[in-house]
Structure 1
């Protein structure tokens, strides 16, 4: 994991002073790094019989379709408001500095489907918790939540305690 961790660029004071942003674009630019990260997540869930992989905007979109392909599953996006063209449900959730809203197509998940949730980063767990609630409201059965990076000091797993949480890189 140290090889992958070394491919993540840290950007100090972004998006605001005091935050050390974990920029995954440098890992994604590295063919071996990208392949390794996707394979590690895919291998962890290969035996789970995943029907659909849900990716969260925006960086979750990068990993989730590749993982879905590896697992022989479909892909469903969760997006910011106004980006999905069909009937959708939405959920508001708390951020450290306010609230945000995410949306999913009503037909993005069918009742009983086995779902893997994917995003690039687990911080406080608020975003993924909202995504899980939407998927479950549509009848999806969440088998796990996978992340490229987990900021363990923020204890985001606590907000996702009912789910199998898997992360490739921990800080």
Structure 2
């Protein structure tokens, strides 16, 4: 079954001036209310990665968790949670980064992956790339390699996917705005 980008785009909601004036937020939550849309999105990623050599899927807090959990289950891969600072128990490492409207810090547990692991990093959206670049850094600091970064949505006008590619990371998105 071919991925139906126009259908998925018809389900995603655009919220102008949120979280601040001038920003159009692409809200993926309607995908989770529409079983056909959720199946279309997850099948699009499963088809891409079912024969890949990835060993782990790392997912960004929090919307990324929803789709990546399905992918990890369907692809039979361990799921690494990359969370906001202070949300993970046990030993963690952290990485700070800039957002399009602020800054933040991500953490991952120190036993999440290691040398020889090939990690797919998943998030719902690529904007400026700061969050995903921070997640790549965390995986690499643990000894893993980043096979690819994947997202439902890419906002190429914000240059995030280009920043990732310029840093040597392959990028895949189902749709772009």
Specify the TM-score bucket, using the shorter chain as the normaliser.
over 0.9
The normalised TM-score by structure 2 is 0.93
Query: Counterpart in 2 of 1:100?
Result: 104
Distance 1:73 1:115 in 2: 10
Return the offset for 1:29: 1.1
Q: Is contact 1:51–1:73 with CA below 8 Å preserved after alignment?
A: yes
Pairing 1:36–2:61 present: no
Gaps of 5+ in 2: none
The correspondence of residues 11-160 of structure 1 with structure 2, limited to 5 A, is: 11-160=15-164
Return the offset for 1:97: 3.5
Distance 1:164 1:71 in 2: 20
Q: Is contact 1:48–1:143 with CA below 8 Å preserved after alignment?
A: no
Task: Spell out, residue by residue over 1:83-129, the C-alpha distance to the aligned partner (whole angstroms, 9 max, x if none).
Answer: 10110000011123432100000001122111110000000111100
Return the offset for 1:31: 0.4
Gaps of 5+ in 1: none
Tell me which of 150, 162, 176 is aligned to 1:170: 176
Task: Spell out, residue by residue over 1:121-159, the C-alpha distance to the aligned partner (whole angstroms, 9 max, x if none).
Answer: 000111100100110110112111100001111121222
Q: Is contact 1:50–1:71 with CA below 8 Å preserved after alignment?
A: no
Distance 2:85 2:125 in 1: 20
Return the offset for 1:12: 1.3
Task: Spell out, residue by residue over 1:7-62, the C-alpha distance to the aligned partner (whole angstroms, 9 max, x if none).
Answer: 00111111011111111011121101001101111211222122110000011111
